[in-house]
Amino acid sequence: MPGSMTSAPPLPDNDAVLTLPADARFTGRLDYPGEVWIDGRLDGVIVCRALVIRPTAHVLGQVVAEHVTVLGSAEAAIYADRLLLKRGCSVVGEAHHAQLVIEDEAFFEGKSRRDPDPRSTARKLLENGG
């Protein structure tokens, strides 16, 4: 279906996916120009083009990406052009988005704000120590 957000966007051939495995924990700031799949735990800030928070993952902190798909859990401020909360996920925090899709049986508790350019909003906050 055109415009569907059921999966992450296709990647260019030269763009590798960065994966944080289920038995890994990352603390700090992660900047990556491509797609990131998290199966483990990330505490901090992640800035990337596309992020998939997989079913075993937990993200605590801030997320900035064009496309974010959540299948696992997040306690975060998420800034995404397109945010997809899949069935069975759990998100507590803030969602700043141009487009938001919440599937049946997805859990979201917090504040949702429509923003035509959420990544710019996030960059300004991060520059000011937010």
Tokens found for residue 20: 């944080």
With a cut of 70, list the residues of the chain below it in pLDDT: 1-14, 130
Q: Give the separation between CA 101 and CA 99, rounded to whole angstroms.
A: 7
Alpha-carbon separation of residue 7 from 49, 67, 87 (angstroms): 14, 10, 13
Q: What is the pLDDT of residue 130?
A: 64
pLDDT of residue 107: 98
Domain boundary assignment for the chain: 18-127
Q: How far, in Å, are 20, 30, 44 from residue 25 at the CA level?
A: 8, 12, 11
Q: How far apart are CA 41 and CA 57, in angstroms?
A: 6
